[in-house]
Amino acid sequence: MPRENRKRGKKHKKPAQPENEQHPPREEEEYVADKEPQAGPSWIVNARIPDIDSEAPFGYVEQEVKAYFRTVDVQIREWQDQEHTQEAAEEDVDPNEDRRMFFVAALSEMSDKEKQLATDPDCSTILERMIYSMDDFARRVFMDRFSGSYEQLMKHRFASHVCQTLFSVSNETVVRESRGIFPPSTGSPDEGELRTLTKLTLDVCEEILPHFTSLMMDSFASHVLRALLSLLCPHIFSQDIQKSSRMRSKKSAAYKQRQGAMKSVFSSESTQIASRHPPPKEFISTARKFVAIVRETMSENEVRACGASQIGSPVLQMLLEIEADEGSTQQSGSLMDSVLAGLIAAINDDPDTIPEASDYVSTLLRDPSSSHLLEILVAKSPENVFRIIWSIYFKGKLRRLAVHPVANFVVAKSFERLDPSEMREACSELNDVVAKILSSFRIGVFRALVDRAAALHECESDVIETICKAFELPSEEDRKLLIPCVLRLLPKTDYDTHVQYAESKESGQQSSNRKPNDDRLEPKTQGALLLQSLLHLNAPHNQPVIDSILESSIDDLLAMAYHVTSSRVLDAFLDSPTIPAKDKRKFVIKLIGHYAQLVDDRIGSRVGDRCWAFADPYLKEKIARSLIPEEHTLAGSFYGKFFARKLNLHLLKRDVEAWKNAQISAKASSTGQVGSTPTVVAKVPPQASAPTTESTVESKRKRKHPAEDEIDQLFDTAIGKKVKRADLSSNVNEEPESAQAKSKSKKDKRDVEPEEGVDKSLHDVLGAIKAAPKNEDKGHKKRKKVK
């Protein structure tokens, strides 16, 4: 399909418009007579205003301009895909200088054509790519050119994405302006004063404020409003939410992904704001104005209809979070009260009343789009409101909701706010359907229970019993299979059946890293996440998981370490603060003798590094000594050679105490405690210190500088050299033996000791002149005569 025919978004059913420039209508076509009978005389006709083209409301872009911006797009794509070359770095050439000149030319060509380019199907994507590389001044100019037309641009099929990208990247400029960092002004009196981007954003909000409710339900403007609210309240909406489907639909995200990476082409300039800076106070008050306008202009039925809409529900979710941050959700008539069908108003009138369940809220539980809205209500509702929501809509209904393909996510979100008594009730209620939950792979419910129990430090035994019942592991002997069963999300009977089937097909083959043909025996991501949560339970409730790991065979442990999913379980085992150190030590000792196989793998080498980081010097010595026979094997391994560098087996075989000190200092430097770690001085035997002394003497001789010219030394001596106090002070603290050795070496270098009162440096110069060879050139003889 040609590129010109690839369109983004939903296309309105209207007659096709020509791509060439729109021609103005002729004079005789401007006014036509209405076909309906007129009330006045026949010579009076109504004037019809020509319709505005919805596809290009600001006019079409000329073909020459489109061709130019296609070349700009190709150049920016090349710069975004490549890094700075080494030649430019070696020649100290600024690669951004040419790019800035290129952008200046492109921005000058874009001047006064921003609206036409934004509404063009091809140039809109090019503008999005250019916005990422614009500096603060260019973004301010670009946003200012759209002033007065934001309502029309937000509703446009292509310009809406340009506005969304502009609001998404404006947070960096707003943060710099709040810190007082502004670009230099041009100083031209004819251009007038350019508003800051903070002021421009506030003006945009004031412009669209009367039309906010209609923009919420527009299929194109809804995404722009989400980006604008995220710009106004970045402290409420995290980066994960800004990158999720709440900001862009799946279709829009897939289209943008096909366009390649969009980032600034000026790699030396930071495009990310590392620190979280609070937004201006005007932004927060403006966001609250949007909440107030929705509460004033929309009735309760309209709010509930917006919540059930696939277009308006994401914007309503963000407004609910802003309302919760403001603290006005407890008021009667709030947005949360409207969505909950007057539940908050009924509680305010009579705190002891328990309203009846609303059919609307029950529908939200099972709707794929609106269930996200109910998750926000469960997470942001006040404490007394949540208790009533739990008792009305969840309590006694978990058997059906926990296995529902949509409602189970809301149930898992509600578990994050349960108290200990409600946790016990939930566990007892789920005990009847745990097998059904496992068979339908609703593992998020189990994981939410485990995380909440670990946070409360209560009901942990009940949660463990519930999970063991789901995997058919009632006895202590059966729980040794907890790791393989949970990792594959199979109950014990099914796991035994699949293992027997795999062994029957692979009889006679012995391999520690075998891959059965049955895909059910492959580790699952949900199972690995559940095991990681179980490992963070407090002792002794996590003991079944620990025992299962320690009781596993070496072949099973190596297979787990080799797999990209199951290796995360071993990482969590070594990193979890709730696992006793003695159990971690048993795990590290169990792998001794198999570390050569462990680190000879891309994923297993990571597990080996974690084991080495946890081990104390005694364990490290045992591991290193077990790998001495495998030294050549590790050196030839693509992944094991990196682990062999940490071992330093050559030093271990030569000097054990020095090796231990090196390991202690390496561990202290890795933990950042170099200053607080005491210095350990090893007692080196005399025979070991002799080669070191010889090597130091030889290195000193090699570093000996060539002799300077005699006359230069003489003038330096006459003028006087500055004595380094640090050298003199360091010689005071030296041992007597070393001082005598140094004095002896000095006697060997010169023939005569200096007399008292004679400068030592001058005496050295005179001694060097006497020792100079006699076959000197005439220049040297003349210098002696001058002397």
Tokens of 37: 């009978």
The sign of the torsion formed by the CA atoms of 573, 578, 583, 584 equals positive
Distance of alpha carbon 564 from alpha carbon 778, whole angstroms: 79
Q: 10 Å Cβ neighbour count for 2?
A: 5
- Region 320-332 average pLDDT: 92
Q: What angle do CA 382, 386, 391 make, to 5 degrees?
A: 160
For residue 53, the model assigns a pLDDT of 67
- To the nearest 10°, report the CA torsion of 31, 33, 38, 40: 50
For the cut 60, the answer to whether the pLDDT of residue 23 exceeds it is: no
Answer with the residue of higher pLDDT: 493 or 786: 493
Residue with tokens 């709707």: 367
Distance of alpha carbon 664 from alpha carbon 677, whole angstroms: 9
The answer to whether 454 and 538 have CB atoms below 8 angstroms apart is yes
Distance of alpha carbon 185 from alpha carbon 194, whole angstroms: 9
Q: List the one residue out of 555, 588, 553 whose CA is nearest residue 570.
A: 588
DSSP-assigned states of every residue in 263-284: --S-TTS--S--S--PPPHHHH
Q: What angle do CA 682, 687, 689 make, to 5 degrees?
A: 50
Q: Is 133 helix (H, G, I), strand (E, B) or coil?
A: coil
Cα 639 versus chain centre, distance: 26
Q: Does 203 map to a domain? A: yes
- Show contacts of 469-473: CB within 8 Å, 24+ apart: 469/431, 469/434, 470/434, 470/435, 470/437, 470/438, 470/446, 471/438
For the cut 60, the answer to whether the pLDDT of residue 34 exceeds it is: no
Among 96-105, 168-177, 686-695, 765-774, the minimum mean pLDDT is found in 686-695
pLDDT tens digits, one per residue of 59-112: 899 999 999 999 999 999 888 777 544 334 444 456 678 888 998 899 999 999
For residue 546, the model assigns a pLDDT of 95
What letter does residue 104 receive in the DSSP assignment? H
For the cut 90, the answer to whether the pLDDT of residue 738 exceeds it is: no
For the cut 60, the answer to whether the pLDDT of residue 734 exceeds it is: no
For residue 753, the model assigns a pLDDT of 45
Among 9-18, 284-293, 543-552, 667-676, the minimum mean pLDDT is found in 9-18
What letter does residue 608 receive in the DSSP assignment? H
Q: List the one residue out of 123, 121, 70, 78 whose CA is nearest residue 99.
A: 78
Q: How many domains does the chain have?
A: 1
DSSP-assigned states of every residue in 723-786: P-HHHHHHHHTS-HHHHHHHHHHHHHH-SSPPPTTS-HHHHHHHHHHHTS-S---HHHHHHHHH
- Region 662-680 average pLDDT: 59
- End-to-end Cα, the chain, rounded Å: 94
For residue 787, the model assigns a pLDDT of 36
Distance of alpha carbon 282 from alpha carbon 291, whole angstroms: 15
Q: 10 Å Cβ neighbour count for 579?
A: 22
Q: What angle do CA 418, 421, 424 make, to 5 degrees?
A: 90
For the cut 80, the answer to whether the pLDDT of residue 409 exceeds it is: yes
Among 201-215, 342-356, 732-746, the minimum mean pLDDT is found in 732-746
The answer to whether 165 and 131 have CB atoms below 8 angstroms apart is yes
pLDDT tens digits, one per residue of 525-540: 999 999 999 999 998 9
For residue 747, the model assigns a pLDDT of 42
The answer to whether 74 and 129 have CB atoms below 8 angstroms apart is no
For residue 48, CA distances in Å to 35, 52, 152, 742 come to 12, 12, 22, 108
Percentage of the chain lying above the pLDDT 70 cut: 71
Task: Supply the mean pLDDT for the chain.
Answer: 78
Contacts (Cβ under 8 Å, ≥6 apart) of 272: 172
Tokens of 632: 């050549």
The answer to whether 224 and 164 have CB atoms below 8 angstroms apart is yes
Q: List the one residue out of 650, 657, 643 whose CA is nearest residue 613.
A: 643
Q: Does 599 map to a domain? A: no
Q: What angle do CA 126, 130, 136 make, to 5 degrees?
A: 155
Distance of alpha carbon 442 from alpha carbon 430, whole angstroms: 12
In degrees and rounded to multiples of 5, residue 639 shows phi and psi of: -100, -30
| AA identity, residue 384 | N
- Region 283-295 average pLDDT: 95
Distance of alpha carbon 234 from alpha carbon 725, whole angstroms: 57
Distance of alpha carbon 741 from alpha carbon 694, whole angstroms: 13
Q: List the one residue out of 77, 17, 1 whose CA is nearest residue 52.
A: 17
Q: Is 417 helix (H, G, I), strand (E, B) or coil?
A: helix
pLDDT tens digits, one per residue of 745-771: 444 443 444 444 444 444 454 454 445
pTM above 0.95, yes or no: no
The answer to whether 567 and 523 have CB atoms below 8 angstroms apart is no
Q: Does 243 map to a domain? A: yes
Tokens of 759: 């400068």
Q: 10 Å Cβ neighbour count for 118?
A: 26
Q: Does 441 map to a domain? A: no
Contacts (Cβ under 8 Å, ≥6 apart) of 226: 164, 246, 247, 314, 315, 318
In degrees and rounded to multiples of 5, residue 608 shows phi and psi of: -60, -40
pLDDT tens digits, one per residue of 569-610: 999 999 999 999 999 999 999 999 999 999 999 999 999 999
Q: How many helices and strands, by DSSP H and E, does the chain display? A: 48, 0
Q: Does 408 map to a domain? A: no
Q: Does 144 map to a domain? A: yes
Q: Does 133 map to a domain? A: yes
Position 9 confidence tier, pLDDT thresholds 50, 70, 90 = low
In degrees and rounded to multiples of 5, residue 19 shows phi and psi of: -80, -15
Contacts (Cβ under 8 Å, ≥6 apart) of 328: 291, 334
Among 114-118, 309-313, 433-437, 751-755, the minimum mean pLDDT is found in 751-755
Contacts (Cβ under 8 Å, ≥6 apart) of 631: 644, 649
Q: Which domain holds residue 243?
A: 63-83+93-180+194-266+277-293
For residue 288, the model assigns a pLDDT of 95
Crossing angle of helices 300-308 and 313-326, rounded to 10°: 120
Q: Within the chain, what is the greatest distance between any pair of CA atoms?
A: 135
pLDDT tens digits, one per residue of 420-451: 999 999 999 999 999 999 999 999 999 999 99
For residue 27, the model assigns a pLDDT of 36
Q: Does 210 map to a domain? A: yes
For residue 733, the model assigns a pLDDT of 39
Distance of alpha carbon 157 from alpha carbon 159, whole angstroms: 6
Distance of alpha carbon 701 from alpha carbon 696, whole angstroms: 9
For residue 521, the model assigns a pLDDT of 86
Distance of alpha carbon 640 from alpha carbon 734, whole angstroms: 44
